[in-house]
Amino acid sequence: MIVRLKRVGDVSTELIYEAADAIASEYGLKVIVDPFKVEPPMETFNWERLQYLASALTMKLAQEKARGEFLVFLVDADAYESGLNFVFGIALPRIGAASVFLKRLRPSFYGEPEDWNLFVSRVRKEVNHELGHLIGLDHCPNPRCVMSFSNSILDVDRKSENLCEDCKLKARELLATWEGS
Ligand SMILES: [Zn+2]
Ligand SMILES: [Zn+2]
């Protein structure tokens, strides 16, 4: 399996390469950065909430997905899912595509001064989290594990960008089954 990363909206080259590095370092997968940017599909925008519907956006963008790859979108926008006020990201393992939404990962969203390193570390965690779901990992009770569920930005900041030992073992097994298929 390879991972293809794609920018949606105004996402910097530097940021997408950080995301690529996080995935390659944690999962040992080959990561390809798509040089093109696409615009988020407006038909998945909710004009009352002023947010994208995460699953619809991801499904729409994943229509161009090739076999043998996981697709991960870095989306410069805010998104929600039914029953949730917002999501930092979403993974659709059955179609092999995931999105990470940047708006609520920026310190400025919380009235904090811009902090590139903090922003990057949050993005690295969220892409590793969604990729974990794509390969088949569930949420993990270990609060330091990147697969722990994040309800708020405090949860994101509390966890590391790495899998705990249990999840690492599971990931290795799951990746072996992917390679065999
Ligand atoms: Zn999750
Ligand atoms: Zn874990």
- What confidence tens digit (pLDDT) does each residue in 92-147 have? 999 999 999 999 999 999 999 999 999 999 999 999 999 999 999 999 999 999 99
What span, in angstroms and rounded, lies between the C-alpha atoms of 172 and 84? 31
Ligand-binding site membership of 145 (annotated):
yes
Position 174 scores a pLDDT of 95
Beta strands, E only, 54-117: 69-75, 79-80, 89-92, 97-101
Place of tokens 């990147």: 146
Residue 181 pLDDT greater than 90, yes or no: no
Instruction: Name beta bridge partners: 27.
Output: none
d(CA 109, CA 130): 21
Tokens encoding 80? 């929600």
pLDDT band at 66 (very low <50, low <70, confident <90, very high): confident
| Domain 2-180 part of CATH 3.40.390.10 | yes
Centre of ligand 1 to C-alpha 22, Å, is 17
The rounded Å distance from CA 138 to ligand 1 centre is: 7
Give the chain's mean pLDDT.
Answer: 96
Determine whether the annotation assigns residue 104 to a binding site.
no
- In angstroms, the CA 77 to CA 161 distance is 22
CA of 131 to the centre of ligand 2 (A): 13
